């Protein structure tokens, strides 16, 4: 006899909703005028970025920890996280008076470590271990076995999934019209599993669209192959959704409840972050921008429809903004890097600026090392354009003036080595 597969029951999600009322207020579902006008749709944002810990993760963490037995509580809990899950666990420990150990990679930004300590207070201990999440996670699991503590997983657990599913219940309660599409970010799959399960039972006509970053599309790959598949390498930029391997439980649910999975380039996510800030004064983390970034891929389907995008979090370190702007410019075709070999003579650079650069082109990066006994010296140069269509004119003028150059944007390995 085969083992019964787990699927979130509505009663369990409703129980989680009742549990979460102990510490949380519902987050708002807000109509977004900018996006609605752009897509000719009624677009609303579910603002999980306005949670106390600035992400939805508190829902699953608190629901899981609250369900522990008295014996498990007295023994303490352990988790591993470099971000939002850690903050959710820390606040839950503080509110419930449970001692917790939170393992974080040594490379975790100090701002995130301080946030975890602030939410956890005297109830938690932050343990820095390993250079990666996987190493921190291994140390956390070893501590659980050694000290008899309970491990609080970030996504692959029924109580976590049911907690995240309360987002779906709130959307149903807050919306005065039937929702045609919900766009949900996917990391490990807990949020998508919970929301998708609620809607397939209460509003089956609603299309649930999962969204993953291109550099860590582990759920899409797993669904395509019909089994959980680990990624060998991932781009960690969208850190709230950069997961090498989704959960066995979340995978099984997602392939039942998701109507599609959209994969979004990291550069496009960066453009969305900047647009939200510039047009709506909304600050989000990369994972929080995923759902909105996917709307362009569904522009035709959502015209005239009621659409909800789940904004999952806003724990964005301010020091990342320069990197976010840079990635956006590269993605939009507005920033281009070259190695140019200039003749080592007076006036060579002036000739380049006068004859090659367009009237609106701007040199934003310049690095030159003079070489002795050589006719030409290499210069690493970054040029920002006002319009992506200006690129063809720029390269054409380089050819016309016999500029010896190598284009770096088209060479990822060399670009990474020289630009970083």
Of 81, 193, 312, 314, which residue is the catalytic one? 312
Q: Dihedral sign for Cα 383, 290, 49, 116, please.
A: negative
> Could you give the count of Cα atoms lying within 13 Å of 32 in the half-sphere of its Cβ?
27
Residue that the structure tokens 């860590």 belong to: 216
Distances (CA, A) of 126 to 80, 86, 116, 153, 245: 10, 9, 8, 16, 25
Q: How far apart are CA 38 and CA 23, in angstroms?
A: 37
Q: How far apart are CA 78 and CA 96, in angstroms?
A: 15
Q: How far apart are CA 188 and CA 244, in angstroms?
A: 9
**Is 101 marked active-site?**
no
Q: How far apart are CA 215 and CA 235, in angstroms?
A: 5
DSSP, collapsed to helix, strand or coil, labels residue 316 as coil
Q: How far apart are CA 334 and CA 75, in angstroms?
A: 55
Widest pairwise Cα distance in the chain:
84
Burial class (CB in 10 A: 0-12, 13-18, 19+), 113: middle
Q: How far apart are CA 105 and CA 108, in angstroms?
A: 5
139 Cβ neighbours under 8 A, 6+ residues apart: 80, 103, 127, 129, 130
Closest to 94 in 3D by CA, of 57, 136, 66: 66
Q: How far apart are CA 345 and CA 267, in angstroms?
A: 38
Q: How far apart are CA 161 and CA 224, in angstroms?
A: 22
Of 46, 57, 64, 159, which residue is the catalytic one? 57
**Is 312 marked active-site?**
yes
Q: Dihedral sign for Cα 6, 9, 11, 17, please.
A: positive
Q: Dihedral sign for Cα 182, 215, 366, 405, please.
A: negative
Residues belonging to the active site: 57, 312
């Amino acid at each position: 006899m085969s083992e019964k597969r787990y699927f979130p029951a509505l009663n369990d999600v409703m129980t989680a909703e009742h549990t979460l009322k102990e510490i949380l207020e519902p987050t708002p579902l807000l109509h977004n005028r900018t996006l609605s006008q752009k897509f000719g749709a009624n677009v609303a944002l579910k603002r999980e970025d306005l949670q106390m810990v600035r992400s939805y993760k508190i829902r699953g963490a608190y629901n899981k920890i609250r369900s522990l037995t008295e014996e498990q509580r007295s023994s303490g809990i352990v988790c591993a996280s470099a971000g939002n899950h850690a903050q959710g666990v820390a606040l839950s420990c503080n509110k419930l008076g449970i001692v917790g150990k939170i393992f974080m990679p040594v490379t975790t930004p100090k701002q995130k470590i301080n946030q975890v300590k602030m939410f956890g207070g005297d109830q938690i201990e932050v343990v820095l271990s390993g250079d990666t999440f996987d190493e921190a996670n291994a140390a956390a699991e070893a501590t659980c076995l050694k000290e008899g503590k309970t491990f609080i997983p970030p996504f692959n657990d029924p109580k976590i999934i049911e907690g995240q599913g309360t987002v779906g219940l709130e959307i149903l309660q807050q919306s005065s019209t039937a929702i045609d599409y919900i766009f949900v970010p996917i990391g490990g799959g807990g949020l998508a599993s919970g929301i998708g399960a609620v809607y397939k039972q209460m509003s089956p006509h609603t299309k649930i669209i999962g969204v993953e970053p291109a550099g860590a599309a582990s759920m899409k790959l797993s669904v395509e192959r019909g089994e959980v598949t680990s990624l060998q390498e991932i781009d960690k930029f969208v850190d709230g959704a950069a997961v090498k391997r989704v959960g066995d439980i979340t995978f099984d649910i997602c392939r039942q409840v998701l109507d599609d999975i959209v994969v979004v380039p990291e550069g496009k996510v960066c453009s969305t972050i900047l647009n939200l800030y510039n047009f709506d004064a909304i600050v989000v983390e990369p994972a929080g921008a995923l759902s909105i970034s996917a709307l362009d891929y569904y522009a035709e389907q959502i015209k005239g429809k009621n659409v909800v995008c789940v904004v999952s979090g806003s724990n964005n370190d301010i020091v990342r903004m320069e990197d976010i702007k840079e990635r956006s410019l590269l993605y939009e075709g507005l920033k281009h890097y070259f190695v140019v070999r200039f003749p080592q003579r007076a006036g060579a650079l002036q000739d380049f600026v006068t004859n090659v650069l367009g009237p609106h082109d701007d040199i934003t990066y310049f690095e030159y090392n003079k070489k002795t006994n050589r006719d030409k010296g290499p210069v690493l140069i970054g040029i920002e354009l006002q319009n992506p269509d200006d690129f063809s004119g720029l390269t054409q003028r380089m050819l016309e003036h016999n500029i010896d150059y190598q284009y770096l944007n088209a060479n990822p390995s060399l670009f990474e080595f020289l630009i970083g």
